[in-house]
Chain A
């Protein structure tokens, strides 16, 4: 099939247009919502099927597939083309995007049932898929950037989906603006690449940096700039502040965009440009350190969160940090592996949380949950499986990918260090701990629900729990997919430091122990009536307050950036710039016109004698001039 990749990208766009234009009218009719759901879900599933076909073609031919869509522009002899590229990495990412995306679409039909903006929601969701596919299938950084911006837009639209609530709308704005800061650095990186290499094609960039002599531009500089862009999209320090606030959007949105796909765009960017980053050891070091700091910091904050979605949000930030650690030590394929497994279990966790919220009629505070294991068994079972996966309990998916990350953090010859491994392991311990804390507080123990909520607890419909089962299954067996081996021809794993090679078995044992320790710790603290947790909270109030306030980062930004900016806008730009300068200039012009008009108006006195006098004066002037010059 000739335009296969273009079709994969465009089918969701068709869904956006159809639902966007007709959806509200359709949904208002009696049979309407059904049609909206069918259009919205069928197209991503079709994209998924096409992706499978493309994968089949890729495996049989062994060659990456290049499709040229059209030439965007021709500037000074160089062409900017819109082209699609399909190799092994694209295959993995596209399968995740379309597969998990389709599942979440199906889940949404149950979750968003009855919402007034039903059609608008699916239109936006399809729009997001279109842009995300553009991002992962684009051949050049330019096409990828279009997708990059587009997913930011879709994220903004979906976070602020219930825009009548100003807090939710503000969360959408925060996400978009924080992303934009990262995008500025992304653009600078693109400019440097264009200037020195004359091309933005990803495969050509990798080839240029792998060849010798190396290009004139510093690979580390470009690497750091692009990484800052990735920080914005993948919520790393210091641009992580938007992700927890993004939980204001509907839960399937959090699952799709802020767990499985959009936030992994940053990981994809770095992994895709592995040829560049292999030549940029300083940039890789920066990536590893930032990723580790983020992972640790987010994990500590997640321990004290009380909103079920916020715990998962900080968990996502932390896991993304671990992926960046893997990228920083040169294990690009391992990072992608974790992207895949993370997509499975994090989506399952978020959708499970959505199921809990749905069952409790909107309650999100885990202090008012408890004892739900028997009331909503299907949700509980899938949630438990996914929790075990993220905690790294073998043989579930999370264990395989996280263990690889820890191993390469320790032993990679491209920057692996013991302290990296140590902090990453502590993070893994905290991850296991807070995830099982979440499980215990939500599902076990005595019920702390309010009576009317408890009365209405009901299991979610099969459109939702069915998807949960599929994702739980993937979380369980997903680790056996051997993604790093699949990506080996494209992104070889880094060599292991020889003196540390023998310790691999020990480290695996430590990782398993960590996972079980987290489980045990959570059970000890939060089992029963969680009295011990309460006692410890009394003892460590200061620490608890610090963590609950997320290290006061938002307040810091507000004081350091928000207030000065507002002062600047208010006092300088508004009062001086706008009112005095611009309005003043206009008033001056108008005043001049008015004064001139009144002067000329004085000429029209109505007195005939004056008019005759003016005639004489004019006559004198004309005569004097013409006599001299004519």
Chain B
């Protein structure tokens, strides 16, 4: 298995594990961290392809992805904090008011 395939396998694994974590873990903050993990997996595949094809495009996309991830976490965590103020729990199962 050459380098590209190996790294791609790692990236797919990171993405899948992040997605699994989103489905199975109950803690809201842990779910957020799993989303970050998914992003990291995708970034890895982008960098791999950029390096393999010797173009700058993939790297630029990764940089933009950093910006978005930072902005996203800056808003997501305060949202979680506000939610927890209301319900006093970090359990995702407690937040099901939008049902039906």
A607 pairs with B100, CB closer than 8 A? no
B97 to chain A, nearest CB (A): 6
A607 to B92, CA, bound (A): 7
8 other A-B residue contacts (CB within 8 Å) besides A607-B99, A609-B26, A609-B92: A606-B95, A607-B92, A608-B31, A609-B22, A609-B23, A613-B23, A615-B19, A616-B19
A609 to B95, CA, bound (A): 11
Q: In the complex, what residues of B have CB within 8 A of residue A606's CB?
A: 95-100
B19 to chain A, nearest CB (A): 6
Q: In this assembly, does B78 line the interface, its C-beta being within 8 Å of a C-beta of chain A? A: no
Q: In the complex, what residues of A have CB within 8 A of residue B23's CB?
A: 609, 612-613, 616
A607 to B96, CA, bound (A): 6
A606 to B24, CA, bound (A): 15
Q: In the complex, what residues of A have CB within 8 A of residue B24's CB?
A: 609
Question: With A607-B92, A607-B93 given, is the CB distance from A612 to B19 under 8 Å?
Answer: yes
A604 to B24, CA, bound (A): 18
A480 to chain B, nearest CB (A): 94
B99 pairs with A608, CB closer than 8 A? no
Q: In this assembly, does A601 line the interface, its C-beta being within 8 Å of a C-beta of chain B? A: yes
Q: In this assembly, does A78 line the interface, its C-beta being within 8 Å of a C-beta of chain B? A: no
12 contacts between A and B (CB under 8 A): A604-B99, A605-B96, A606-B95, A606-B96, A607-B93, A608-B95, A609-B22, A609-B23, A609-B26, A609-B92, A612-B19, A613-B23
What is the interface of chain A mostly: helix, strand, loop, or mixed? helix
A605 to B92, CA, bound (A): 12
Question: Which residues of B from 13 to 70 have beta carbons under 8 Å from A?
Answer: 19, 22-24, 26, 31
Question: Which residues of A from 589 to 630 have beta carbons under 8 Å from B?
Answer: 601, 604-609, 612-613, 615-616
A601 to B99, CA, bound (A): 8
A608 to B27, CA, bound (A): 11
B12 to chain A, nearest CB (A): 12
A601 to B100, CA, bound (A): 5
Please give the number of chain B residues whose Cβ is less than 8 angstroms from any Cβ of chain A in the complex.
14
| 10 nearest CB pairs, A to B | A606-B96, A606-B99, A612-B22, A612-B23, A608-B92, A606-B98, A613-B23, A605-B99, A609-B23, A607-B96
A608 to B83, CA, bound (A): 14
Q: In the complex, what residues of A have CB within 8 A of residue B100's CB?
A: 601, 604, 606
Q: In the complex, what residues of A have CB within 8 A of residue B22's CB?
A: 609, 612
Bits for A433-458, please: 1 = Cβ < 8 Å to B, else 0: 00000000000000000000000000
A409 to B48, CA, bound (A): 116
Q: In the complex, what residues of A have CB within 8 A of residue B99's CB?
A: 604-607
A616 to B21, CA, bound (A): 12
B30 to chain A, nearest CB (A): 12
A612 to B18, CA, bound (A): 11
A605 to B98, CA, bound (A): 8
Q: In the complex, what residues of A have CB within 8 A of residue B93's CB?
A: 607, 609
Question: With A609-B24, A609-B92 given, is the CB distance from A604 to B98 under 8 Å?
Answer: yes
Q: In the complex, what residues of A have CB within 8 A of residue B97's CB?
A: 606
A607 to B95, CA, bound (A): 7
A180 to B99, CA, bound (A): 62
Q: Which residue of A lies closest to B25 (CB)?
A: A609
Q: In the complex, what residues of B have CB within 8 A of residue A607's CB?
A: 92-93, 96, 99
A605 to B95, CA, bound (A): 11
Q: Which residue of B lies closest to A619 (CB)?
A: B19
A443 to B23, CA, bound (A): 107
A616 to B15, CA, bound (A): 12
Bits for A274-316, please: 1 = Cβ < 8 Å to B, else 0: 0000000000000000000000000000000000000000000
A607 to B98, CA, bound (A): 9
A498 to B99, CA, bound (A): 103
Q: Which residue of A lies closest to B95 (CB)?
A: A608
A606 to B94, CA, bound (A): 9
Q: Which of A604, A605, A606, A613 has the most CB of B within 10 A?
A: A606
Q: Which residue of B lies closest to A607 (CB)?
A: B96
Q: In the complex, what residues of B have CB within 8 A of residue A616's CB?
A: 19, 23
Q: In the complex, what residues of B have CB within 8 A of residue A601's CB?
A: 100
A611 to chain B, nearest CB (A): 9
B33 to chain A, nearest CB (A): 14
Bits for A338-376, please: 1 = Cβ < 8 Å to B, else 0: 000000000000000000000000000000000000000
A608 to B96, CA, bound (A): 8
Q: Which of A607, A612, A615 has the most CB of B within 10 A?
A: A612
